[in-house]
Every structure is written in C-alpha cells, then in structure tokens.
Amino acid sequence: MNAQDLQAPVDYLKGVGPARADLLRTELNIHKFQDLLSLFPNRYIDRTRFHKIAELQNANAEVQIIGKITTVKMVPQKRGKRMVAVFEDETGQMELVWFRGHKWIRENIKTNTPYVAFGKLKWFGNRASMPHPELDLLEEYQSKKAQRMQPVYPSTEKLQKKGLTNRSMNNIMFNLLKQCTAGFTETLPESVLQKHKLVSKTKAIFNVHFPATINDLEKAKFRLKFEEFFYIQLQLIRKNLLAKKKIKGFPFPEVGDYFLDFYKNYLPFELTHAQKRVLKEIRRDLNSGAQMNRLLQGDVGSGKTIVGFLSMLIALGNGFQACMMAPTEILAIQHYEGISELAEKMGIHVKLLTGSTKTKARRILHEELESGELQILIGTHALIEDKVKFKNLGLAIIDEQHRFGVAQRAKLWKKNTLPPHVMVMTATPIPRTLAMSVYGDLDISVIDELPPGRKPIQTVHRYDSNRLKVFKFLKDEITKGRQVYVVYPLIEESANFDYKDLMDGYDSIVRYFPKPDYQVSIVHGKMKPEDKAFEMQRFVEGKTQIMVATTVIEVGVNVPNASIMLIESAERFGLSQLHQLRGRVGRGAEQSYCVLLTGHKISKDGKTRLETMTQTNDGFKIAEVDLKLRGPGDLMGTQQSGVLQLKIADLVQDGSILALARKEAHLLLKEDPSLESPENSMVNFTYQSSMKNKQFWNYIS
C-alpha cells in the first residue's frame, strides 16, 4: 500500500463507519489509515496455550479453554437478570456469565458445539466462572492463524462504553491489513536493512499487529523502534550540521593573553583530564567559524564554572565580551562572586545584573556595556531585557538552561549582528538516551571526573525513631567546627502544611541546640529576599552552625565548611533533588555526610530512591534510575515532555537501539548530507513527510 492510500480517512475502512470514526478521532487521535497502523499494541495475550478446567488455579488470570456449552439459563438478581451457561470439557465444568447483551448472545450461541472460550477468571469459593468471555467456534478459531498472539490496543472508557472493545479493534486492524496485501513502501536504506538483519517494513507492520510467534514479534518491534529513532536522529543531526553551515559564528583564532596569563599564573588548582578534554572541544568550536552550540554536563562539584570562565577568557582575548545567565538571583550572585574573585587579579571588569540592581547602578552598567568597558556580565533574566545592549557579545553561557524558556534564550542571540557562541551548562546529569534525543542537535561535553582530593560523601538512611542519635552525631560534628544543613520538603500544593512542618522542625532544632552554644539560621520561601540573604550570609561567614531551610538552598550556596546535609522526610523528594541537595556538602577537604531521615511508611519507589542514594554518588547512575522511575516526560518537565511522545520506542528500555540508529543516521549524513543520492530518495521522502507532519521537534536549543 503506498503512502497516498494510507492517507484515506478511517471512515472508509470496513467495520468503522462515521460514528466509530468520530470516536477514534476524538479518543485516540486516529484520522487516517496511517494513524491506525501506527496504533501499536500495549501488550499481547499469548493464545497459543489452552487450559483444562480441572487444572485451573485460583487466580484472576486470563485463560482459554476448549469446551462445549451444555445449558443456558437466566438467573434473577437485585437489578435485572444475568445469563449463565455451563461450559464443560473432558475434565470438568465451569460457568460463563453475561450481565448484558443477553438477547444477541442467546440467539447466536450454539449448544454442544466445540468453542474456544477466552477471558479473565473469577472465583466463588472453589468454583471458576468467566464473565463476558470471548467465544470463537473452534473451527473458526483454527482458521484464524494470525490471531494466536492477540494484540491489546490502547483504549479509553468511552470507547469501551460505545462498544469499541479490544475485539472490535482487532477486527478493524485485521480488515485494514487485509487491504494491504501489496505491502508497504520500504523506508530504510537496503544497506542498513542488510547490515543489521532488519525485517522489511511490510513484515514488521504485519507482525507487530498479528505475530504468529514471539520471535516474529521481537524482530518486528526491533525494526520499527530502530526506524522511529533513526528518523528522529536524522532530523536532529541534520539540524546540527545545517546550523554549523548556515549560522556563522565569530571566529576566535587566538587563545589570547587573558587565557594564557590566567592559566600560567592564577589557576587555583590543576585541571582534571575531563576539564582539559572539554576545553579542547570548546576551543575547536570557537575557532571553526560556525556558531558554537554546546551542552556542558557535569555533576555537582565537577568544576563546570572554571571551564566556563576559561571559555570567557578566550572570548575576551579575541576582543569580545561574555555573559553568564543563571535562573535565580542566589545562583547569579554565587557565580558573580566566584568569577570576580578570579578576574580581579587580572584587572578584568565584571558586573552583576539582577532584578535587585538599583537604577543608578543599572545606568552606569548599561553605558559600560555599550562602550565595551564592561567585559563580563553575570545575571538573571535581567540580561535579556531590551535595554541591555552589548558592544560585541562573543560568548553567552546559560546555567541550568532547562529552567529558561526557548523564547528567553533566543533573546540573547538577538543582541548581536552575528549570534554569540552558546554554551549551556547543567549540574543535573542527563541520562545518555535523553541527551541523544532531547539534546541531539547540540554538541555535548561531559565532565565525568571530580577534582582530586574530594572525598565521596557518605550517605545513610535513618528512621524518625533514630532522631536523637542523629542529633547527637550533628552535635559531635559541630564540636569539630563543622556546619550543618537541615532541609525540609516544600510541596507547592500544601505550602501551609510545609511551612508548619518547617517551623516545628526549627523549634525542635533550637530546643536541642540551645543558645548561646549554638546559633541557628532559617531560610524559606515566605521570607523577604533581603532577610533570606542576611540569614544565608550569616551561615556563609560561620556565624551560625545550623541552617534550617526548605529547598531554596538546592542550588546557589557554596559553604566548604558545611559537612552535613540532613534531609527531613527524604521519601518526599525526587532523586535528582536529593542528589542536588547532597551536592551542597562535600566541598571542603573534610569528610562529609548526607543523612536521609524518613518515617517507616515508604512507597516502593521511595525505597528505590533511598537505596540508590545510599549506594552511589554518581549523578549519571542516579539519573538513569530516575528515568526508569519517572519516565522521560516527567524528567524533562512539561516544557519539553511533548518532544518525547514516541509511538513504539521507549527511551528507558531501548537505549541500545537508539545508539545504533543515531550511529547509522550519522554515517548516512556523512556520505550524503543533503539526502540527494538516488538510493536515499525514499529516506528523503520519509524525512520530508515527517517534518511536514511535525512528528519531530525543531526547537530545542
């Protein structure tokens, strides 16, 4: 069947009609034959196995049995009647029960004739019954060879109520495939099919809907998953290549004096091998003549900021300005303090711009920025205001970029005749499969090594009943001169409850750690910004030993002397949040600890999260577990979850297929970047169709 035939409205398919077509459109977004073919089964019922009535186990399992209906009767009940048939085989008897549709069933049922009954068992004492079974005459069942592995399709309550059951969907799909005897146009290159022993498109479509064996099904699914990933990767890689070709960037031919001076004379520590490797990748981009568009991933404390600063120095050394945008004022201030400390030794002019910057200071800042006197600007969303004009912005660094919208990021690009080079940084490790899919059009650098001398944080899980022992441990550490974070969850839906939780916790901490021996800071979302900053500053300066806070300290506080992170109600936090909070300690030379305090009632997922935290400090391993628990949509947030609506492939389970598809897409585009060669004509047609139908995304970076 060619692509044109597959565009026929679903109304014209046997077994559908206008009413059912309307339902399919509204409930499952199925408009055409093509949409219906792409409605892949959720699971399959193996109908190759038959049971004997005497051998049935007392469980609500789906079974099929060959037998005969011997008698049928109507049984009164509180509301109306139910129809009961005695069904028997050579080993025993059971009941088939119908609560509705009696008239049609009674007229069509045949007694003492071999049937295949299929359905879910219900048990009353030791007697089995099967409500609303699927009944096939044995003779008809044997002629339907394709139905042995029965597909179960996605459905909704409305479809079920209107009689569009799974059986109806099976029949509709069967009718559609009967019309496709000519087969389907191949969409993958012959070389790729042969290299990876992939079944043809036709075989894959037939066998994914009505497989004869498990082996047929696995081969069909592998091929279709590969194809789905292949075209997604083709688009992302091609977008990257086109951007490099079309979007010119300022060439930075020199490393520059600023970089060399800092590297030789002021670098506070030896760079790790990973940092050096990433700097080489960035250096190559900056000298390519195309705009750099690079994602820099690195776990908490891996040294992304120094890599960002060294990249800024390359921009400055080539006569350009640089900026860094952070999602919160706290984080912007932290970056500003860290970078200006490094820059002042070399006389580099750095300023901070946030919502709190006063009008007079802004006016001076704007003038210095336009004249080029101001070399590095660090700030929040305030950087993208129209009034902010650079003389020649050469490099824009965006920290924790997933917190910014696409439109916000794009505003930075428009501040120049040519777009600046772009580096987006994240301390939230992204699983490999997500990085390949969501950021597949970016070049990715990973700092996968912590600076030497860092001791791994020891993480333990304790129950509320051990609270006094935990507090005793905190006292011992404070006596050694250390500082402690105590963090409470903050869930927006129940902000009042959480506030009470925090205040109760604060009271109990103050009782156990009384003045004047101990000083306690408190920080939460209801405080004024200046009060919050004051309390944080007291903790940074060591005037308070304990910081009681909500998750506002997840990012943005760097206190090397803080060596304990106590997380209250840890079961209420997500994995990535637990990992980010833990990253607030372990920044000094002393051994640091993270204590996860919980109640005794913990969900299965909650236990997995806590076990993962106690077993590993590796952010990438944690991100993989998080992906399995939450799925890609939740992990990326609502802003980007739409890009991950795959039809058959699964980012969690199918990472190896994704890597394979990406590799093949790379190879194809290397040989034929424009997809112009005759052997790739079908690939190009499929690619263009998918772009037209907006099946893939085009707006990540």
Residues 490-504 have pLDDT tens digits of: 644 444 545 567 788
Residue 528 has pLDDT above 90, yes or no: no
Cα separations (Å) of 50 from 89, 141, 148, 167? Answer: 12, 13, 11, 19
* 408 and 485 housed in the same domain: no
* 304 and 415 housed in the same domain: yes
- Report if residue 217 sits inside a domain: no
* 433 and 386 housed in the same domain: yes
pLDDT in tens, 321-331: 999 998 888 78
pLDDT in tens, 208-229: 999 988 899 999 999 999 999 9
Nearest Cα to Cα of residue 675 among 105, 86, 230: 230
- Report if residue 230 sits inside a domain: no
Q: Which residue has the higher pLDDT, 264 or 298?
A: 264
pLDDT in tens, 14-24: 888 888 989 99
The confidence band for 147, taking pLDDT boundaries of 50, 70 and 90, is: low
Q: How far apart are CA 220 and CA 215, in angstroms?
A: 9
Total domains, the chain: 4
- Report if residue 650 sits inside a domain: no
Please give the mean pLDDT across all residues of the chain: 85
Q: How confident is the model over 268-286, as a mean pLDDT?
A: 93
* 285 and 428 housed in the same domain: yes
- pLDDT at position 554, please? 53
Pick from 175-179, 410-414, 692-696: least confident: 692-696
* 104 and 170 housed in the same domain: no
- Report if residue 165 sits inside a domain: yes
- Report if residue 545 sits inside a domain: yes
Q: Is 88 exposed, middle or buried (0-12, 13-18, 19+ CB in 10 A)?
A: middle
- State which of 616, 638, 653 marks the end of a domain: 616
- State which of 616, 647, 676 marks the end of a domain: 616
* 420 touches 572 (CB < 8 A): no
Contact residues for 531 (Cβ-Cβ < 8 A; gap 6+) = none
- pLDDT at position 240, please? 81
Q: pTM score, two decimals?
A: 0.70
The confidence band for 409, taking pLDDT boundaries of 50, 70 and 90, is: low
Pick from 355-364, 544-553, 636-645: least confident: 636-645
- pLDDT at position 515, please? 87
Q: How far apart are CA 263 and CA 197, in angstroms?
A: 52
Tokens of 89: 């085989």
The confidence band for 693, taking pLDDT boundaries of 50, 70 and 90, is: low
Which contiguous run of DSSP H or E holds residue 410? helix 406-413
Q: How far apart are CA 679 and CA 669, in angstroms?
A: 13
Q: How confident is the model over 103-118, as a mean pLDDT?
A: 88
What percent of the chain stands above pLDDT 70? 90
Q: How confident is the model over 432-459, as a mean pLDDT?
A: 79
* 392 and 527 housed in the same domain: no
- Report if residue 194 sits inside a domain: no
Q: How many residues does the chain have?
A: 701
* 328 and 408 housed in the same domain: yes
- pLDDT at position 641, please? 41
- pLDDT at position 642, please? 42
Q: How confident is the model over 369-378, as a mean pLDDT?
A: 95
Q: How far apart are CA 532 and CA 549, in angstroms?
A: 10
Q: How confident is the model over 421-426, as a mean pLDDT?
A: 88
* 421 and 280 housed in the same domain: yes
Adjacent-strand bridge partners of 657: none
The confidence band for 621, taking pLDDT boundaries of 50, 70 and 90, is: confident
Q: Which domain holds residue 470?
A: 458-616
Residue 612's domain is classified under what CATH number? 3.40.50.300
Report the range out of 2-11, 179-188, 691-700 with the highest average pLDDT: 179-188
Q: Is 692 exposed, middle or buried (0-12, 13-18, 19+ CB in 10 A)?
A: exposed
* 478 and 609 housed in the same domain: yes
- pLDDT at position 185, please? 87
Q: How far apart are CA 190 and CA 197, in angstroms?
A: 10
Pick from 155-164, 398-407, 592-601: least confident: 398-407
- Report if residue 630 sits inside a domain: no
Collapsed DSSP state (helix, strand, coil) of residue 628: helix
* 611 and 477 housed in the same domain: yes
Q: How confident is the model over 540-547, as a mean pLDDT?
A: 91
Residue 112's domain is classified under what CATH number? 2.40.50.140
- pLDDT at position 490, please? 66
Residue 196 has pLDDT above 80, yes or no: yes
Residue 517 has pLDDT above 80, yes or no: yes
Nearest Cα to Cα of residue 556 among 300, 327, 334: 334
* 344 and 380 housed in the same domain: yes
What is the phi-psi region of residue 21: left when phi exceeds 0, alpha when psi lies from -120 to 50, beta otherwise?
alpha
- pLDDT at position 325, please? 92
- State which of 388, 415, 447 marks the end of a domain: 447
The confidence band for 520, taking pLDDT boundaries of 50, 70 and 90, is: very high
* 163 and 99 housed in the same domain: no
Nearest Cα to Cα of residue 444 among 270, 645, 236: 236
- Report if residue 660 sits inside a domain: no
Residue 122 has pLDDT above 80, yes or no: yes
Q: Which long-range contacts (CB under 8 A, 24 or more apart) does 16-24 make?
A: 16/172, 19/162, 20/162, 20/164, 20/172, 23/158, 23/159, 23/162, 23/164, 24/164
